Amino acid sequence: MVVFDKLKEALKKTRELFKPIKENKNLDAIEEILLSADIGVGLTQHLIKQIKESNSQNFVFALRENLIKILSCPYQTTPELVKPTIIMIVGVPGSGKTTTIAKLANYFQKRDLRVLISASDTYRAAAAKQLGIWAERVNAEIVWSSPGQDPGAVTYDALSKAQAHNFDIVLIDTAGRLHTRKDLMEEAKKIKRVCQKFRANAPDEIWLVLDANFGQNGIAQARIFHQELNLTGLIVTKLDGTAKGGIIVPIVWELKLPVRFIGIGEGLDDLEEFDSHQYIAALIEQ
């Protein structure tokens, strides 16, 4: 299946919510639809205002243009590629971090980059094992940890190994931390500090994995992670099978963070680079 068709298929339920927009020529109805599609009150009002100000009779066109504008903003440029590029993956339990790391390892290796995975989730006993199964499947190397081990030490080992053996990318899996639990957030900060000790401007990326099903709650979650860790991007997972796929727009609008990848299934190939034009085209037909 070509990439766009796969995306369209995954976003089917969300698209259903946006569908009536096409038939509606009245802004009140469009407002209702946007609210029902997890766009949120603030952003919906902003969009309606933009559509009015555009003086366009084609509301759907004006809406699409504005949505793409919000999602395409180059809020941050990708830093120069250094070796190893250190990418830390954070998020609450069950959001899809470990699965996404396996998908990312697969993605980078297909581009001939050598990937080392750091099993820095030492909180949950089964975590390293799950990661190990994935790593084997994608044939990526992993630096193991045992439950209860200091995640900072595991991370440092992985970074040293990556440097010594000339890896291109290190993917750091972290424990699922509830953003309300201060201690667990502190652990993420500690892993970040370990990276900084290794190289002053590391980690090069800190990506928050967000489950699309969180809906509006995902925004609050992302805000806290961003405050604490200074994120460089987002990965939104489980867009397949949810009707809450619209949530990407208010998250980007509020946090001014780019979505780097999206997860559209449980398999290794169910990860796509985020493309704002394709995403909007898949949600709102012209």
Ligand X SMILES: Nc1nc2c(ncn2[C@@H]2O[C@H](COP(=O)(O)OP(=O)(O)O)[C@@H](O)[C@H]2O)c(=O)[nH]1
Q: Which residues bind ligand X (CB under 6 A)?
A: 91, 93-99, 176, 237-238, 240-241, 263-266, 270
d(CA 97, CA 211): 10
Q: What residues make contact with Mg ion under the rule CB under 5 A?
A: 97-98
Q: For ligand X, which is the closer residue by CB, 81 or 133?
A: 133
Left (φ > 0), alpha (ψ -120 to 50) or beta: where does 29 sit?
A: alpha
Instruction: For residue 264, give both structure tokens.
Output: 């559209």
- Which of 21/251 has CB closer to ligand X? 251
Q: Which does 264 bind (CB under 5 to 8 A by kind): Mg ion, ligand X, none?
A: ligand X
The runs of H, that is alpha helices, within the chain are: 3-10, 12-18, 27-36, 41-54, 59-72, 97-110, 127-138, 151-164, 182-198, 217-229, 248-255, 276-283
Measured from the CB atom, is 66 or 100 closer to Mg ion? 100
CB of 146 to Mg ion, least distance (A): 15
| CA proximity to 220, closest of 111, 92, 99 | 92
Question: How far apart are the C-alpha atoms of 122 and 88, rounded to whole Å?
Answer: 15
Q: Smallest distance, Å, CB 24 to ligand X?
A: 31
Identify what 84 binds: ligand X, Mg ion, none; CB under 5 to 8 Å per kind.
Answer: none
- Write the DSSP string, 118-186: EE---SSTTHHHHHHHHHHHHT-EEE---TTS-HHHHHHHHHHHHHHTT-SEEEEE-----TT-HHHHH
Which CB sits closer to Mg ion, 97 or 103?
A: 97
Secondary structure of residue 82 in the 3-state scheme: coil
To ligand X, the closest distance from the beta carbon of 123 in angstroms equals 10
Least distance CB 173 / ligand X (angstroms): 7
CB of 12 to Mg ion, least distance (A): 27
The strand pairing partners of 261, in sequence order, are 235, 273
Q: What is the Cα–Cα distance from 211 to 48, expressed in whole angstroms? A: 27
Residue nearest to ligand X (CB): 263
CA pair distance 170, 162, nearest whole angstrom: 7
d(CA 258, CA 156): 28
Nearer to ligand X, 30 or 282 (CB): 282
Residue 238 touches which of ligand X, Mg ion, none (Cβ within 5-8 Å per kind) = ligand X
Q: Give the one entry of Mg ion, ligand X, none that residue 99 binds, where binding means its C-beta sits below a cut-off of 5 to 8 angstroms depending on kind.
A: ligand X
Q: How far is the CB of 72 from ligand X (least distance, A)?
A: 22
CB of 4 to Mg ion, least distance (A): 30
Of ligand X, Mg ion, none, which one sits near residue 64, judging by CB under 5 to 8 A according to partner kind? none
Nearer to ligand X, 60 or 239 (CB): 239
Residue closer to Mg ion (CB basis): 70 or 154: 154
